[in-house]
Amino acid sequence: MTLINNIKQFPIYNVVEQPSKYMTAIAITVFSSLVMFLEPVSTSWLRYQSIEVNHGEWWRIFTANLCHSNWNHWILNIAGLWLMDVFYKPVLSLKIRTSLLLFCMLSNVALLHAFLNIGWYVGLSGALHGYLIGGAILSFNTAKVLNTLIIVITTIKLITESLWQVNSGTAELIGADVLEPAHSFGAVSAVIFVLIFWIIHKKTT
């Protein structure tokens, strides 16, 4: 019985037993994998391209998050998504996790479009940086030391990669340049979400 109980406490078992608790991560995994299988037609319609967005194809601001440069890129992003979702599931509801992640997905690319002159962008890493920091802030009181470490280490990473070329290995692996500002905009998106969340929560309590 002890072994069975230990297995039931393992995160992967919880995903299998309670898939409804991870519906957002499941949906992103499925849709982004379909985009990869339908390459290159899917990416031509879904990736962020500044010219097309300026011509009214606004869906690209969101769907860019579902596109990836290659399967290595997809695996890195989806692995990160699941690690974070499983990590935050015990302390944040599905509604909060979904709202935070979707907001970061949308806001991150919108900020890229507003402030940077880039031709195109694909990937979920910017939103994931926001998800990581936003989740740590929202669940701060549940594990103050751990969440402080997450926020501090992630902030140091963002500062480091903005000053020095530290992602060359990742760029080679995914077959595309790493757009570091996307990571910073993801973090900014998380802070905006948390402020909005606190304001709404304060008004309703």
Residues 104, 196: Cα–Cα separation, whole Å: 13
Residues 61, 5: Cα–Cα separation, whole Å: 44
Residue 23: is its pLDDT beyond 80?
yes
Radius of gyration of the chain (CA): 18
pLDDT band for position 2 (50/70/90)? very low
Residue type, 36: M
pLDDT (tens digit per residue) in 96-121:
999 999 999 999 999 999 999 899 99
* 180: containing domain: 2-203
List Cβ neighbours of 179 (8 Å cut-off, separation of 6 or more).
Answer: 112, 118, 121, 123, 126
Residue 6: is its pLDDT beyond 50?
no
Q: Counting beta carbons within 10 angstroms of the beta carbon of residue 7, is it exposed (0 to 12), middle (13 to 18) or buried (19 or more)?
A: exposed
Q: State the greatest distance between any 2 C-alpha atoms of the chain, in Å, as a whole number.
A: 61
Phi, psi of 184 (to 5 degrees): -65, -40
Token code pair at residue 1 = 């019985």
Mean pLDDT computed over 51-56: 96
Minimum mean pLDDT range among 17-21, 25-29, 124-128: 17-21
Mean pLDDT computed over 3-19: 55
Residue 65: is its pLDDT beyond 60?
yes
pLDDT (tens digit per residue) in 160-196:
988 877 677 778 878 887 888 999 999 999 999 999 9
CATH value at residue 120: 1.20.1540.10
Mean pLDDT computed over 131-136: 98
pTM of the full predicted structure? 0.90
**Total number of domains constituting the chain:** 1
- Do residues 161 and 186 make contact, with C-beta atoms less than 8 angstroms apart? no
Q: What is the mean pLDDT of the chain?
A: 90
Mean pLDDT computed over 124-147: 96
Q: What is the pLDDT of residue 89?
A: 94
